[in-house]
Structure 1
Amino acid sequence: MKIMLSSILLFLTIAQYTCSGQELFDMPKDKITKWISFENRSGDKGKGGIENKGAKGHAFNALKAGESIDLMDLEGSGTVRRIWMTFNDRSPEMLRAIKIEMFWDNSETPAVSAPIGDFFGIGLGQRLPFQSQLFSDPEGRSFNCAIPMPFKKHAKITITNESNQPLNQLFYDVNILMEAHDEDMLYFHSYWSRANKTKVGKDFEILPKVTGKGRFIGTNMGVKTDPELETTWYGEGEVKMYIDGDSDYPTLVGTGTEDYIGTAYGQQTYSHMYQGSPIANTEKGIFAFYRYHIPDPVFFYDDISVSIQIMGGAGKDKVQEFIDKGLNVKPVTIHNDLTFIKLLELEPEVKLRDPSLPNGWTNFYREDDVSATAYFYLDQPQNELSEIAPVKERTADLPKK
């Protein structure tokens, strides 16, 4: 079995490079590799490791509270192929307070603006070992990103310490392939948002409407459940994608939160290449999960928006208990092995305690603390999305590490 699994993984790795149009043994023309770090800020030829006579003279920098630093500021055409980073303070507050931004082709507004922890694959201000196709953290102490990020004229990556504490040790390197791109190239973008308390019946926007041509890559999300709803299941909400003119109803729609990330009938911890749930703690009410549309691409030619319903489920008696306590919940369906009732279609409206309704699993709109990082490509280096929330909003009421 182990031999078979290793063979499959080797095949998938080779297929990845073959499908990208570049065999491992092919020698391309006019491509130059650059590594940019504190040991070679320009990435120029023969300019690396100069300080301290070449003996590890500048592996890291400090970043004072309120200070920004450009990890790279590079002229030319190329592709960021990999980003690695680590720093000494990985507390929940610091993971949300450090902001990473990326600017392509001299755009004044960032294509990427996100808290650094959320951007690198796990939300909620948490860090732990995991691996996906796009992000990884081998031992819970580092940040790795393998999303290709092309540019034609210029690229800049900036991080800002928006906390009130200094960051004493920041290490990084950005690996770049200098190469030409054609006119159909798409730019990488990322958008982060949080609703500290969602509203009953209102979907959470993973990605507000974006106009242009591009590809939705996917999202990682964090959910901190409402403690008043105890340990009831949070994940009945369906992901919906409105594409190329969709208005009231979407073209693409899932069947539930855990279904969207590839599992079913609940959610435990796992990390797979395109889908995963690094954090799933029902008792503490925290969940962090991801889904990346690599084998199942989502293209758009005019516009796109992506949202998720904030909906949970429990037995009918438990949901009625919440209603009796005055909690803000709204039942939407009830079902058992024999029947499925769409409560929102009943006219006149039927209350949940109505004796005509059967006992069974009851899905209900609820309120939770939800955040998401969306990743997408777009045919322009800037987008019209709103600025990232202030640091006070980003760091409020985070789960403890």
Structure 2
Amino acid sequence: MSDVSRLRPGVVTRSVSPENPTGAPGQGGRATEGTGSGPGRELGPGWKISPSIEIPANGTIDLADVEGPGRITHIWMTTHTNHWRSLLLRAFWDGARQPAIEVPVGDFFGQGWGRFAQVSSSMIAVNPHGGFNSYWPMPFRRSARLTVENLADAPAVVYFQVTYDSGTDEAASGYLHAQWRRSNPVVQALHTLVDGVTGAGQYVGTYLAWGVNSRGWWGEGEMKYYLDGDGEFPTICGTGTEDYFGGAWNFDVPGQGYTAYTTPHLGLHQIITPDGLYESQQRFGMYRWHVADPIRFASALRVDVQALGWRAGHRYLPLHDDIASTALFYLDAPAATRPPTPTPDELETL
């Protein structure tokens, strides 16, 4: 983590928001039109005239378009829960044609089920009621462009602020990538998080939105990291799903069952239980940030997780669960092999 006491000559802080769309010095609060122009009509410029934007149905807007070098240090965002899965957040580094980040807004902030769950972690904080905060460092050498696409057939209002340092030396920095994949249902009890990534870098974060489609315990499967030419077998192999997220013994505290927790680097922050009617399945949200323990690779990366439960005779049961993953890693290139852009049907919360 950075030393906040260190002086950095030549580095200045800028912030892009609907109140200052360019982040330019002295240009904040000058709007004369915007989503707050009605409430502020008696007060005029400087009084919250443009606190948010409206993204048209099936439209895309720029959150920030910045010339570098620089580093995004904080993103704050909020929108109605209805939009958490239908808005796609993208980031393009250094003029790359393909996005390094392409993730539903809700999943990027650990809210894949379209329901609020508190997250109190070092890199992502989500606070009542849907205040999304990212502290993932996002370095760039020439430019950064953040966009949001609205895949829904209705407009969406979004509040946001993107804060960045301008003038930093990022010659030795990797580019942040975030990829979203969903297996619904999982095939052959295996869900892929990352595949086909080449180059040098470090894997830094996992979020899983896990929907259970059978009775019993569902988390016997192992997380596996295939590094730098690994074939059938990985270099890093965990011992179970709950173990990877820092828990143990089914996340089950005797007498109270599944027990939520949120810590700086890992957590089971969301537990959705059946209601006896339409909410028939158990669903979970889990995260692990490899900030203190990044997984470094020199030339290639592949990551997957098994979906295993139990069957009679103390035998593993391959599962057909619904798993959506957000995987984060830094890479020495601004673009990488990535999954296809998800469709609205693939994003639907079922």
Tell whether the 8 Å contact from 2:181 to 2:339 is kept in structure 1 after alignment: no
Aligned in 2, Cα 1:182/1:43: closer, same or farther, shift over 3 Å?
A: closer
Q: Given residue 204 of structure 1, which amino acid in structure 2 is its aligned partner?
A: H
Structure 1 unmatched ranges of 5 or more: 1-15, 317-358
Helix, strand or coil for the counterpart of 1:39? Answer: coil
Distance 1:174 1:32 in 2: 14
2:50 counterpart (49, 58, 68)? 58
The equivalent of 1:252 in structure 2 is 236
Q: 2:191: which partner in 1?
A: 204
SS in 1 for 2:325: strand
- Give % identity: 32
Question: Aligned residue for 1:187?
Answer: 175
- In the alignment, which residue of structure 1 is the partner of 2:292? 295
Q: Secondary structure at the match of 1:106?
A: coil
**Which is further off, 305-314 or 109-118?**
305-314
Amino acid at match of 2:245: I
In the other structure, the counterpart of 2:8 is: 28
Aligned-partner Cα distance in 1 for 2:160–2:273? 35
Give the superposition deviation at 1:125: 2.7
Q: Deviations over 1:109-167 (max 9, x none)?
A: 10000111001123233322221111111213211100000001111000011111221
**Local SS of the residue matching 1:54:** coil
CA contact (8 A) 1:122 1:220 kept: no
Q: Is the 8 A contact 1:219 1:375 kept in 2?
A: yes
Q: Does the CA-based 8 Å contact 2:69-2:170 persist in structure 1?
A: no
Q: Who is 2:202 aligned against?
A: 215
**1:117-136 superposed matches below 5 A:** 117-136=106-125
State how 1:275-290 maps to structure 2 within 5 Å: 275-281=266-272, 283=274, 284-290=281-287
Aligned partners of 1:116 and 1:130: how far apart in 2? 15
SS at structure 1 position matched to 2:345: helix
TM-aligned CA distance change 1:62 to 1:282, over 3 Å: closer
Q: Does 1:85 align with 2:73?
A: no
1:71-150 equivalences in 2 (<5 Å):
71-87=63-79, 89-91=80-82, 94-150=83-139
Letter in 2 for 1:247: G
How many Å apart are 1:299 and its aligned residue? 0.4
1:258 and 1:374 mapped to 2: Cα distance? 17
**Deviation (angstroms), 1:385:** 1.3
> Equivalent residue for 1:270?
261
Question: How far, CA to CA, are the matches of 1:373 and 1:222 in structure 2?
Answer: 9
Q: 2:267–2:286: 8 Å Cα contact kept in structure 1? A: yes
Residue among 299, 315, 337 paired with 1:384: 337
Is 1:309 the counterpart of 2:306 in the alignment? yes
Question: Which residue pairs with 2:25 in the alignment?
Answer: 45
Task: Kindly indicate whether the alpha-carbon contact (under 8 Å) linking 1:117 and 1:126 is maintained by their aligned counterparts in 2.
Answer: no
Q: d(CA) in 2 for partners of 1:101 and 1:43?
A: 19
Flag the structure with larger Rg. Answer: 1
Q: CA deviation at 1:282?
A: 5.5
Q: Deviation at 1:182?
A: 4.4
CA shift for structure 1 position 253: 0.4
Structure ranking higher in helix proportion: 1
Q: How many Å separate the matches in 1 of 2:299 and 2:122?
A: 27
Deviations 1:72-119 (A, max 9, x none): 0111210000000112x212xx21111110000001110000111001
* Letter paired with 2:335: Q
Q: 1:263 and 1:311, CA in 2 relative to 1: closer, same or farther beyond 3 A?
A: same
CA offsets per residue over residues 243-281 of structure 1, 9 Å max, x none?
A: 011011000000000000001111221111111011134
Could you tell me how far apart the structure 2 residues matched to 1:140 and 1:249 are?
A: 43
After alignment, is 114-123 or 210-219 more displaced?
114-123
Query: How many angstroms does 1:174 deviate by?
Result: 0.3
Q: Per the alignment, in what secondary structure is the counterpart of residue 85 of structure 2?
A: helix
**Would you say the 8 A contact 1:39–1:57 is kept in 2?**
yes
Distance 1:370 1:119 in 2: 15
The TM-score with structure 1 as length reference comes to: 0.78
CA distance in structure 1 between the partners assigned to 2:231 and 2:25 by the alignment: 52
Aligned partner (choices 141, 151, 170) of residue 158 of structure 2: 170
Letter in 2 for 1:186: G
- Computed over aligned residues only, the root mean square deviation of the Cα atoms, in angstroms, reads 1.4
